[in-house]
Amino acid sequence: MEKIRVYAPATVANVACGFDIFGFAVNHPGDEVVLIKKNSPGIEIVEITGDEGRLPKEVSKNTAGIAIQKYLEFIGQSEQGFLLSLHKDMPLGSGLGSSAASAVAGVFAVNELMGRPLAQKDLLPFAMEGERVACGSAHADNVGPSLLGGFVIIRSYEPLDIIQIPTPENLYASIVHPQIEVNTKDARGILNKEIYLSTAITQMGNVAGLVAGLLLPDYELIGRSLVDVIIEPSRAILIPAFKEVKLAALDSGALGCSISGSGPSLFALSKGEEVAQKVASRMAAEFANVGIGSETYVSQINQAGPVILPF
């Protein structure tokens, strides 16, 4: 192949109790990359759309560009050049893994064009370099599920140990992105540096319960475990009407509701699409009650990760 078009999905990270260790992919929104081989060395970012002109075209500062560059260096093919076009089909700074989706789409695309010298899971470190460019930390709770699909656990970074676990077929995510901004640095800086042992024990119980609930599957256990007693209490103050939106989700039948990544998006998990649609509508209505517009998405857990699209 001389060119390829790839879509990579958005993700929900943390998943309530799993700060920096849980993430899952959704079917939409997502990002698209078009990658074309060229006869001269170097990666040229020719077009970025959907970003309102906010993203850099300099390869070393672009999540997709740097992921591709690091990959080519690793396989010893830095002389191969590419033209890169990126279409952002999700809000920037939404807490839905926008930078991760771009990096994943880019590195998956280049691996396909180079004849798949690496297994898909082995592309993860290069996608993580895109995250380092975006936010200063090469974390994997967004790029992991975007690349591999499904629900992932990041058990360890040293060494990198990513585990995929199955999810119930009838589990749906409702995501509401309010039209406000939450700075990731602010969302990190507001967190408590120390916690009580009793609080840690409660959180560990919820982490274990959520994994067990997904595996069994046991929807009621999933719901009981979608409780974050460490991160959410601090970050909730950055999101207007958070309490009201969460209560609306639970009153509408959601198993649980929390902040996606560092926010401002909120997610809820439900049993069945009909309930998930109702939950999304109610959450959006609560934001509207305080004068905040929003976008909503309803999706099963995406099991595919990145996919090749036709031209």
Say whether 273 is catalytic.
no
Three-state DSSP at 68 gives helix
Q: What is the pLDDT of residue 188?
A: 78
Percent of the chain with pLDDT over 70: 99
> Is 131 a residue of the active site?
yes
- pLDDT tens per residue, range 219-243: 999 999 999 999 999 999 999 999 9
| Contact status, residue 171 vs residue 222, Cβ threshold 8 Å | yes
Structural tokens at position 47: 């077009």
> Please, are residues 40 and 54 in contact by the beta-carbon 8 Å criterion?
no
pLDDT tens for 270-295 read 999 999 999 999 999 999 999 999 99
Q: How confident is the model at residue 92 (pLDDT cuts 50, 70, 90)?
A: confident
In the prediction, which pLDDT does 88 show?
A: 94
C-alpha to C-alpha distance for 228 and 101, rounded to whole angstroms: 25
Average model confidence (pLDDT) across the chain:
95
pLDDT-derived band at 137, boundaries 50, 70, 90:
confident
- Catalytic residue from among 32, 129, 131, 232: 131
> Which pLDDT does position 91 carry in this prediction?
83
Q: Summarize the confidence of residues 146-156 as an average pLDDT.
A: 97
Provide the pLDDT for residue 93. Answer: 84
Burial status of residue 291 (CB atoms within 10 A of its CB: 0-12, 13-18, 19 or more):
exposed
| End-to-end alpha carbon distance in the chain | 13
Helices (H), the chain: 63-75, 98-113, 124-135, 143-148, 184-189, 197-215, 219-225, 232-235, 242-251, 273-289
Evaluate whether the domain defined by 3-166+303-309 bears CATH number 1.10.30.50: no
pLDDT at position 19: 95
Per the residue annotation, which of 44, 112, 184, 199 is the catalytic one? Answer: 184
Segment 160-194, tens digit of pLDDT: 999 999 999 999 999 999 999 877 767 777 888 99
Which residues have a Cβ under 8 Å from the Cβ of 122 and sit 6 or more positions away? none
- Based on DSSP, count helices (H) and strands (E) in the chain, helices before strands: 10, 11
The pLDDT score that the predictor gives to residue 5 is 98
Fold of the domain built from segment(s) 171-300: Alpha-Beta Plaits (3.30.70)
Q: String of b and e for 238-265 (b: at least 16 CB within 10 Å)?
A: bbebbeebbebbbebbbbbbbbbbbbbb
pLDDT of residue 194: 95
SS3 293: coil
212: Cβ–Cβ under 8 A, 6 or more apart, which residues? 218, 221, 225
Domain chopping of the chain, boundaries:
3-166+303-309, 171-300
Over the stretch 26-69, which tens digit does the pLDDT of each residue have?
999 999 999 999 999 999 999 999 998 889 999 999 999 999 99
Residue 300's pLDDT is: 97
Tokens representing residue 187 in the block: 């969302």
